[in-house]
Amino acid sequence: MTGRGRRPGDQGTREAILEAARAVFLEQGFTKGAVTAVARRAEVDAALVYHYFGTKLDLFVESMADLLYTQERRAAAVAEGRVRTGADIVADFLGKWEQGSEQPGQAFVALAQAASASPEAAARVNELVTQRIWQPEGSTEPISGAAARRAAMVGAQLVGIAWARYVLGLGPVATAPADEIASWFGPIIDTIRTAGSDAN
C-alpha cells in the first residue's frame, strides 16, 4: 500500500484514521476488524496507522473514546444553574450509543466484545469507562481516590443498563425511550454519586 492516499503530515489524517477505525470496528467487531482494513478505508498505509496509534487495541480504544463522554447535559445543567443529575448521565450515556446509528447500541456491543478479547483489552475498556464517564470532555487528567471508586460504581450501573438494552433485549429496558430509562435509573446513579463529597 505504499505511495497511496494521504501523506503522514497531511491535515486531518489522524482524524480520518479514527473515523475509518470506528466504522470498521462497528461493522466487524474488534477481533475481526483488521488494521489493514482501517488503512484501506482511510486511504493510508497500514504503517501510518501504527505510527499514529501504536497497536490495534490503542486504535480501538481511541476510536471509541468519545462515545463514553456523558457531558452534553452537564453543559446544559451548568447553563441552567443546576446540578447535573443521574438521569442526565444515563440519558447522555445511552444517547452516545444511539445517536446517528441505524443499529442502536452497535458500538456498545463492539466495546463489550473487545473487553472479552483479552485481559489487557478488558483493563483498557475498564479504564475507558470509568475515566470518560466522569471527566469533562477534552480532559486527560486521570481521576483517583473516592471519585474513581464512584466512577467505577456508576460505570457498572451504566454498562449493566446497556447490556440489558442492547445485548439481552431485556423487556422494557430494551424498548423504552432513553429518557424514560434515564428517569428510572437516574436516582440510583444519584445515590452512588452523592456517597462522597465531590459529585459532579
Region label for 195, one of left (φ > 0), alpha (ψ between -120 and 50) or beta (otherwise): alpha
Percent of the chain with pLDDT over 70: 76
Residue with cell 461493522: 27
pLDDT 10s digits, 94-112: 887 887 666 778 888 888 8
Question: pLDDT: is 125 or 182 the higher one?
Answer: 182
Q: Is the pLDDT of residue 91 over 60?
A: yes
| pLDDT computed for residue 109 by the predictor | 86
Q: How many angstroms separate the Cα of 14 from the Cα of each of 29, 59, 60, 117, 198?
A: 21, 11, 13, 25, 35
Q: Could you tell me how far CA 66 lies from the centroid of its own chain?
A: 5
How many whole angstroms separate alpha carbon 87 and alpha carbon 92? 8
Q: How confident is the model at residue 60 (pLDDT cuts 50, 70, 90)?
A: very high
pLDDT 10s digits, 39-50: 999 999 999 999
Residues 119 and 39 sit within 8 Å (Cβ to Cβ): no
Residue with cell 486504535: 59
- pTM given for the model: 0.74
The domains found in the chain, sorted by start residue, are 13-54 (1.10.10.60), 67-193 (1.10.357)
Residues 32 and 67 sit within 8 Å (Cβ to Cβ): no
Highest mean pLDDT among 35-39, 141-145, 150-154: 35-39
A 10 A CB-CB count for 103 gives: 11
| pLDDT computed for residue 24 by the predictor | 94
Residue 111 in grid coordinates: 466495546
Residue 62 in grid coordinates: 481511541
| pLDDT computed for residue 2 by the predictor | 46
Averaged pLDDT, 13-26: 92
Residue 97 in grid coordinates: 450509543
